[in-house]
Chains A and B, each alone.
Chain A
Amino acid sequence: MSRRRFAKYVGGAAVVAVGAAAGYGIYETSKSQPTPTATLTTQPATETTALPPAAVSLRGETTSDPNFYLWDKDTSVTPGGLLAEYKKKTGATVTMERLDWGTHYEKSRLELQSQSPTYDFFAYDAYVRGSYLPNNWFMDWKELESKTGLTMNFDDITPKIVRDCGTFEGKIQGIPSGSFLSPYFVYRKSLFSEPNLQGEFEKKFGHPLAPPSSWEEVTELSEFFTRKINGMQWYGVSLLMAPESSSDEFYFRWLNMGGGKGGRSASMLICDENYEPLINNDIGVEALTNIVNIFKHKWCAPGGTEVAWVDITSNFFAGDVAMGYMWSCAWPGVDDPGVSKAAGDVGFYTMPLAQDGVNAHSSLALGINRFGKVPEETYKFLQWLLSPEQDKRMALIGNNPVRTSTFQDPEVQANPMNANLWKMLQLPSVPQPDLPEFGEMNYEFSLEIQNAALGKKTPKQALDDTVAKWREILKKAGKL
Chain B
Amino acid sequence: MSPFLRNFFSKKLGPLLTAPSWAMLTAISIYPLLYCVYLSFNDWNLLKAYIPPTFIGIKNYVDLLFDPLFQNTVQVSLTFSILAVSIELGLGIAVGMLFSSEHVKFGKVLRTVLLLPMVVTPVLIGLTWKTMLNQKWGVVNYFLAQLGVTGIEWYTSPAQALPTMVLIDIWQWTPFVALVVFATLLSLPREPFEAAAIDGASRLHIFRHITLPMLRGSISLAVLIRLIDTLREFDKVYVLTRGGPGRATDLMSIFAYRTAFYHGYVSYAAATSIVLFIVVIGLCTILLGRLTPKK
Given contacts A303-B136, A447-B247, contact A134 B30 (CB under 8 A): no
Q: Is the CB of B264 within 8 A of A131?
A: yes
Q: Is the CB of A306 within 8 A of B264?
A: no
A233 — nearest CB in chain B belongs to which residue?
B136
Q: Which of B141-191 contact A (CB under 8 A)?
A: 153, 155-158
Is A96 an interface residue, CB under 8 A from the partner?
no
Which residue in A13, A301, A450 is a CB contact (below 8 Å) of B245? A450
Chain A nearest CB from B23 CB (Å) reads 7
Is A302 an interface residue, CB under 8 A from the partner?
yes
Chain B nearest CB from A243 CB (Å) reads 6
Kindly state the separation between the CA atoms of A318 and B135 in the bound complex, as whole angstroms.
13
B42-50, B77-85, B202-210, B214-222 - interface stretch: B42-50
Is B246 an interface residue, CB under 8 A from the partner?
yes
Q: Is the CB of B245 within 8 A of A305?
A: yes
Is B137 an interface residue, CB under 8 A from the partner?
yes
Q: Which A residues are in CB contact (< 8 Å) with B158?
A: 305, 454
Kindly state the separation between the CA atoms of A437 and B22 in the bound complex, as whole angstroms.
41
Is A79 an interface residue, CB under 8 A from the partner?
no
Chain B nearest CB from A240 CB (Å) reads 13
Which residue in A12, A102, A130, A242 is a CB contact (below 8 Å) of B23? A12
Q: Is the CB of B30 within 8 A of A305?
A: no
Which residue in A20, A130, A307, A451 is a CB contact (below 8 Å) of B31? A20
Q: Which of B47-61 contact A (CB under 8 A)?
A: 47-50
Kindly state the separation between the CA atoms of A244 and B23 in the bound complex, as whole angstroms.
40
Q: How many residue pairs, one in A and one in B, have C-beta atoms under 8 Å apart?
A: 99
Given contacts A131-B264, A318-B136, A440-B263, contact A109 B246 (CB under 8 A): no
Q: Is the CB of B31 within 8 A of A443?
A: no
Chain A nearest CB from B15 CB (Å) reads 9
Kindly state the separation between the CA atoms of A135 and B241 in the bound complex, as whole angstroms.
30
What 1/0 flags go to B253-280 for Cβ under 8 Å of A?
Answer: 0000000011110000000000000000
Q: Is the CB of B263 within 8 A of A439?
A: yes
Q: Is the CB of A440 within 8 A of B262?
A: yes
Which residue in A12, A102, A134 is a CB contact (below 8 Å) of B26? A12
Q: Which of B108-157 contact A (CB under 8 A)?
A: 134-137, 153, 155-157
Given contacts A15-B26, A244-B242, A306-B155, contact A113 B46 (CB under 8 A): yes
Given contacts A12-B22, A436-B264, contact A302 B136 (CB under 8 A): yes
B258 — nearest CB in chain A belongs to which residue?
A443
Q: Which A residues are in CB contact (< 8 Å) with B247?
A: 447
Is A169 an interface residue, CB under 8 A from the partner?
no
Q: Is the CB of B46 within 8 A of A305?
A: no
Kindly state the separation between the CA atoms of A135 and B264 in the bound complex, as whole angstroms.
13
Kindly state the separation between the CA atoms of A9 and B22 in the bound complex, as whole angstroms.
10
Q: Which A residues are in CB contact (< 8 Å) with B246?
A: 305, 447, 450-451, 454
Is A313 an interface residue, CB under 8 A from the partner?
no
A321 — nearest CB in chain B belongs to which residue?
B136
Chain B nearest CB from A251 CB (Å) reads 16
Q: Is the CB of B137 within 8 A of A13?
A: no
Q: Is the CB of A243 within 8 A of B242?
A: yes
Chain A nearest CB from B101 CB (Å) reads 41
Is A105 an interface residue, CB under 8 A from the partner?
yes
Q: Is the CB of A134 within 8 A of B48?
A: yes
Kindly state the separation between the CA atoms of A102 and B46 in the bound complex, as whole angstroms.
16
Is A328 an interface residue, CB under 8 A from the partner?
no
B241 — nearest CB in chain A belongs to which residue?
A306
Q: Which of A126-172 contact B (CB under 8 A)?
A: 130-131, 134-136
Kindly state the separation between the CA atoms of A436 and B51 in the bound complex, as whole angstroms.
13
Q: Is the CB of B50 within 8 A of A134?
A: yes
Kindly state the separation between the CA atoms of A154 and B31 in the bound complex, as whole angstroms.
48
Q: Which B residues are in CB contact (< 8 Å) with A304?
A: 135, 153, 156-157, 245
Is B34 an interface residue, CB under 8 A from the partner?
yes
Q: Is the CB of A306 within 8 A of B156?
A: yes
Chain A nearest CB from B72 CB (Å) reads 12
Q: Is the CB of A243 within 8 A of B153?
A: no
Kindly state the separation between the CA atoms of A134 and B46 in the bound complex, as whole angstroms.
12
Which residue in B22, B27, B34, B46 is a CB contact (below 8 Å) of A109? B46
Q: Is the CB of B156 within 8 A of A16?
A: no
Which residue in A105, A130, A306 is a CB contact (below 8 Å) of B244? A306
Given contacts A306-B156, A447-B246, contact A19 B263 (CB under 8 A): no
What 1/0 flags go to A226-268 for Cβ under 8 Å of B?
Answer: 0000000000000000111000000000000000000000000
A19 — nearest CB in chain B belongs to which residue?
B27
Q: Given A16-B30, A135-B48, A243-B242, 5 more contacts at CB 8 Å? A: A16-B31, A105-B261, A306-B155, A436-B48, A440-B262
Using CB atoms and an 8 Å cutoff, list the residues of chain A in contact with chain B: 8-9, 12-13, 15-17, 19-20, 102, 105-106, 109-110, 113, 130-131, 134-136, 242-244, 301-307, 315, 318, 320, 436-437, 439-440, 443, 447, 450-451, 454
15 A-B pairs with C-beta separation under 8 A: A16-B30, A19-B27, A105-B261, A130-B47, A131-B47, A303-B135, A304-B157, A306-B156, A306-B245, A315-B136, A318-B136, A439-B47, A440-B264, A443-B263, A450-B246
